[in-house]
Amino acid sequence: MNKITLSAAALLGLALTSAQAAPVISAQSIIVNPVQPDLSVSVRVDKDATGQALPSYRIGEGLRISTTTNRDAYVYLFSVDSSGEVTQILPNNLGGDNFVKANTTKVFPEAGANFTFSVGGPTGLNKVLALASLEKLDLAALSRFESSQSQFATVQAGNQQQLAQALSIVVNPIPQNSWVTDTVYFDAVAQTPVRTGSLFVGTNVAGASVILNGKTLGSANVTYRDIAPGTYPIKVRASGYADFASTVTIKSGYTTNLPVDFGLRPAPAPVRPAPVVPAPVRPAPAAQYTLTINSTVNGARVFVNGVEAGAIRGGTLSVPVRAGAAEVVILAPGMKTYVGNYDVQRSATIVVNPR
């Protein structure tokens, strides 16, 4: 059965606020409708029917997405993961019809569909964008199917900024009151760790060191635990001897023993040190400021540019931020998700209370 990993199908953030007389495009607020249309759409994930919580999905866990519209409309689903990678989820060539009847809820994948959605890495805040339109949209400027056998369309935009530009081209030809968007958020979290194994390297030379898969573990004649199962390259190094090089297989729940007898191996020829190259001069980092969020909702989770910054305790939370664009998302049960976009040029205070 085919599946879409929601990292290659990661989720797209959208700030729904009023703007000027034409769609406003930025990397943080992907596309903002400048008028209030009489069309509405909501998008949800199956662990949160309210859209007010922030559910968690393990990497590899199945996920279903539902949409509801108040008028007959065509719904287009996109995703952006925590790294900003974009994928078009709907429409597709696997039977995912994107027409939604008025005042009905449609679930993707539908019952009996020959594909599933599952959450992929990396971990972090993910977003799903639903774009609803009374007219069928031409997505040629945004995505295309590579061939008639292709199951999913390839998004030409490589990041959120490029997706914003492409979406503005898609919606510009149609009336502003005939399209609308909604966004849902969820956390992608790590899977339950697999059982690990251990490694013991015994040598006849004091002071030997163990290098596993390019990483120095430490001295030989020591047991190293919590190593993921697999086969790795290994080197054992001792002063005055040629390196011992081989591979070693780690098994879950077992200790692998590797005896290394350096014997009378000749020492390697001395290596002349490489000439010292001055380090490049790096530009000074951007100025850092502080955003202070005040709210009566204690425990509300705060995300800045997709990274969780902490929770509001005692009515406040201070977050260090770099100068420039900042997307602030505040989530709490029973509170409407707050999304704000700021051009940070100084320290400032944001007051957000339930609505």
Q: Based on the fold, state whether residues 139 and 211 are members of the same structural domain.
A: no
CA distance 348 to 214: 45
284 or 15: whose pLDDT is higher?
284
Instruction: Work out the average pLDDT over 106-120.
Output: 84
In a domain, 312, yes or no: yes
Residues 41 and 171 in one domain: yes
Q: Is the pLDDT of residue 58 over 50?
A: yes
Give CA–CA dist 238/247, Å, rounded.
18
Q: What percent of the chain has pLDDT over 70?
A: 84
Same domain, yes or no, for 56 and 147?
yes
**Predicted local confidence at residue 211, as pLDDT:** 95
pLDDT band (50, 70, 90) for residue 285: low
- pLDDT score of 244: 92
The pairing of strands 56-58 and 143-144 is: unpaired
Cβ atoms of 80 and 148 closer than 8 Å? no
294, 351 Cβ separation under 8 angstroms: yes
Asked whether residue 273 is assigned to any structural domain, the reply reads no
The verdict on residue 277 lying in a domain is no
Quote the pLDDT of residue 72: 96
Has residue 266 been placed in a domain?
Answer: no
In this structure, the answer to whether residues 181 and 201 fall within a common structural domain is no
Helices (H) and strands (E) in the chain, counts: 1, 28
The whole-angstrom separation of Cα 99 and Cα 135 is 10
Domain annotation covers residue 295: yes
Instruction: Calculate mean pLDDT across residues 160-166.
Output: 74
Q: What integer pLDDT is reported at residue 3 of this predicted model?
A: 37
Give the pLDDT confidence score for residue 96 in this predicted structure.
66
Instruction: Give 139's pLDDT tier (boundaries 50, 70, 90).
Output: confident
Q: Given this model, what pLDDT does residue 67 score?
A: 95
Question: Is 279 within a domain?
Answer: no
Give the pairing of strands 335-344 and 324-332: antiparallel
pLDDT band at 21 (very low <50, low <70, confident <90, very high): very low
Angle 91-186-161 from CA coordinates, rounded to 5° = 60
Which domain-ending residue is among 171, 189, 207? 189
Number of domains in the chain: 3
CA–CA separation, 142 vs 12, rounded Å?
14
Order of strands, sheet of 115-118, starting from the edge strand that comes earlier in the sequence: 2-5, 115-118, 62-63
Mean pLDDT across the chain: 81
pLDDT at 281 over 60: yes
- For residue 284, the model assigns a pLDDT of 63
List the alpha helices (DSSP H) in the chain.
Answer: 160-171
7 is written with which tokens?
Answer: 């990292």
Highest mean pLDDT among 69-83, 158-172, 188-202: 69-83
Same-domain check for residues 83 and 148? yes
Residue 193: the pLDDT is: 60
Residues 58 and 97 in one domain: yes
- The answer to whether residue 276 is domain-embedded is no
- What CATH number is associated with residue 326? 2.60.40.1120
204-255 pLDDT, tens digit each:
888 899 999 999 999 999 899 889 899 999 999 998 888 999 999 999 888 9
Q: What is the dihedral of CA 92, 95, 101, 107, to 10 degrees?
A: -90
pLDDT band at 267 (very low <50, low <70, confident <90, very high): low
Supply the CATH number for residue 180's domain.
2.60.40.2550
Domain that holds residue 169: 2-189
Which of 161-175, 184-198, 318-332 shows the highest mean pLDDT? 318-332
Least confident interval from 29-33, 135-139, 296-300:
29-33
**pLDDT the model gives residue 249:** 94
- Point out the least confidently predicted range of 90-104, 137-151, 285-299: 137-151
From 241-255, 272-286, 304-318, the region with the lowest mean pLDDT:
272-286
> Cβ–Cβ contacts within 10 Å for residue 231, how many?
10
Least confident range of 113-127, 130-144, 156-170:
156-170
The pLDDT assigned to 106 comes to 93
pLDDT digit string (tens) for 4-17?
Answer: 443 333 333 222 22
* Same domain? 224 vs 314: no
Name the residue type at position 189: V
**Are 34 and 62 found together in one domain?**
yes
| Three-class secondary structure of residue 170 per DSSP | helix
Q: How far apart are the first and last CA of the chain?
A: 43
